[in-house]
């Protein structure tokens, strides 16, 4: 592995050399490494079973978030593919820091500020990924249409193919999609969203600053991001208080929260299997009974 990293580092900086490498935790689907060179420290993700487009989408998402000037993201040095072994790699800045009392206040306030970054329409103008699942996208004027047709219907197609969505579950999901406009607004503010904001996708950097990592960006209702933060936890009440002081939640948030969480549960069902099935079924039953 060290030889692979040495070859790639020469493309980033021809005069730099690799001193140390070690495997580190980097999520469920990628291999991840700490690489220390003469001049810098890197975080490298690689995956032997994906197209480089997988990492290029992550790179563009990090850059778009960084360009808002609201939240920190790791500096991205590039996506590289070793020609001999055909392994795509994403090279980024290594982030390490110590949490401060105000870190989660900053996270809430700055995420709200990022959500104030508006797009011209809902969705995205390119193919995206959530985990390793590909998602078709389009920019549309109606949020209900985008969320139903590109997010829920996209997972339905994957689930039918993988046989994770069938029978009564499939019937309920299809029935729910036909009446989404009862709960989901057609024209909220099209906010720039992280798109995969669970507790493992933010970290602490220098001076206690929060950093966002592993985005799956889109433009949509800001409450989609917030709903996902509540699904698996990892965010304090200070985070929510700070967020809502800048960007309040709607009076209907609790009515639609589980509909937004449904998308992420379908993703997990399609990626990891039936352990998420009961949660999916409970939400479908709530909204279709």
Active site residue 289: no
Q: Are 152 and 135 in contact (CB under 8 A)?
A: no
SS (H, E, C) 247-284: CCCCCCHHHHHHHHHHHHHHHHHHHHCHHHHHHHHHHH
Question: What CA–CA distance (Å, rounded) separates 65 from 251?
Answer: 27
Digitized pLDDT (tens) for each residue of the chain, 289 residues in all: 888 999 999 999 988 999 999 999 876 789 999 999 998 999 999 998 899 999 999 999 999 999 999 999 999 999 999 878 789 999 999 999 898 889 999 999 999 999 999 999 999 999 999 999 999 999 999 999 999 999 999 999 999 999 999 999 999 999 999 999 999 999 999 999 999 999 999 999 999 999 999 999 999 999 999 999 999 998 999 999 999 999 999 999 999 999 999 999 999 999 999 999 999 999 999 999 9
The CATH 3.30.200.20 domain(s) of the chain lie at 2-93
CATH superfamily of this structure's domain 103-288: Aminoglycoside phosphotransferase (APH), C-terminal lobe (3.90.1200.10)
The CATH 3.90.1200.10 domain(s) of the chain lie at 103-288
2-93: what fold? Answer: Phosphorylase Kinase; domain 1 (3.30.200)
Name the active-site residue from 16, 28, 181, 196.
196
pTM (2 d.p.): 0.95
């Amino acid at each position: 592995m060290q030889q692979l990293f040495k070859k790639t580092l020469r493309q980033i900086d021809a005069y730099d050399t690799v001193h140390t490498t070690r495997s580190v935790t980097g999520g469920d689907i990628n291999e991840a490494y700490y690489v220390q060179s003469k001049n810098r420290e890197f975080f490298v993700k690689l995956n032997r079973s994906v197209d480089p487009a997988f990492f290029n989408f992550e790179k563009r998402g990090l850059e778009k978030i960084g360009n808002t000037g609201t939240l920190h993201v790791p500096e991205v040095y590039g996506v590289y593919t070793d020609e001999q072994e055909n392994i795509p790699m994403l090279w980024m800045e290594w982030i390490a820091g110590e949490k401060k009392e105000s870190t989660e206040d900053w996270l809430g306030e700055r995420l709200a500020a990022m959500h104030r970054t508006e797009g011209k329409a809902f969705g995205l103008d390119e193919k995206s990924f959530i985990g390793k699942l590909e998602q078709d996208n389009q920019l549309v004027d109606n949020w209900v249409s985008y969320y139903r047709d590109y997010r829920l219907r996209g997972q339905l197609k994957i689930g039918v193919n993988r046989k994770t969505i069938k029978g009564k579950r499939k019937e309920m999901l299809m029935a729910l999609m036909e009446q989404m406009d009862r709960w989901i607004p057609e024209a909220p503010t099209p906010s720039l969203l992280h798109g995969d904001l669970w507790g493992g996708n933010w970290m602490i950097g220098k001076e206690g600053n929060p950093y966002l990592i592993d985005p799956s960006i889109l433009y949509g209702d800001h409450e989609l991001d917030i709903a996902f933060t509540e699904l698996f936890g990892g965010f304090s009440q200070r985070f929510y208080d700070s967020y809502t002081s800048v960007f309040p939640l709607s009076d209907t948030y609790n009515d639609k929260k589980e509909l937004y969480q449904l998308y992420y549960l379908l993703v997990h069902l399609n990626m990891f299997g039936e352990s998420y099935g009961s949660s999916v079924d409970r939400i479908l039953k709530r909204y279709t009974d």
